[in-house]
Amino acid sequence: MAKFIRFCLFFMMLTISSVVGDGDYAYDYDDAYAPAPASIPASTSAVPAPPPASTSPVPAPPPASTSPVPVPPPAVVPALFAFGDSLIDSGNNNQLFSFAKANYLPYGIDVGGPTGRFSNGYTILDQIGVLLGLPLLPSYSEEFNVDTMRFGVNYASAAAGILDVTGFHFVERIPFSYQIKNFENTLVNLIKNMSAPIVKEAIPKCIFFVGMGNNDYLNNYIMPVYFTQDQYSPQKFAELLVHQYKAQLTKLYDLGARKFIITGIGQMGCIPSMLAETSGGGCSESVNKMVHPFNSKLRTMIMKLNKDLAGAHFIFLDMEYMFKDIFKNHKVYGFSVIDRGCCGLGKNQGEVTCLPFEIPCANRDEYLFWDAYHPTSAVNLLLGRMAFYNDANYSYPINIEQLALI
Taking every pair of Cα atoms in the chain, the longest distance, rounded to a whole number of angstroms, is 66
Please pick, among 43, 85, 86, 126, the residue that the annotation labels catalytic: 86
| Spatial distance between the Cα atoms of 7 and 11, rounded to a whole number of angstroms | 7
* Calpha distance 392→247 (Å, rounded): 26
Beta strands in 132-206 (DSSP E): 152-154
**H-state helical runs in 255-333:** 272-275, 285-308, 319-328, 330-333
CA-CA-CA-CA torsion sign (366, 82, 309, 296): positive
Rg (CA), the chain: 20
Q: 110, 141, 169, 374: which is the annotated catalytic residue?
A: 374
Active site residue 233: no
Active site residue 371: yes
Q: Are residues 321 and 312 in contact, defined by beta-carbon separation less than 8 angstroms?
A: no
Query: Judging by beta carbons within 10 Å of its beta carbon (0-12, 13-18, 19+), is residue 5 exposed, middle or buried?
Result: exposed
CA distance 68 to 2: 41
Q: Which of 126, 318, 365, 371 is catalytic?
A: 371
Beta carbons of 29 and 255 less than 8 angstroms apart:
yes
Per-residue CA distances from 123 to 141, 259, 375 (Å): 18, 20, 9
SS3 315: strand
- Tell whether omega for the bond before 135 is within 30 degrees of 0, i.e. cis: no
Confirm whether 374 is a catalytic residue.
yes
Contact 196, 32 (CB under 8 A): yes
Residues forming the active site: 86, 371, 374
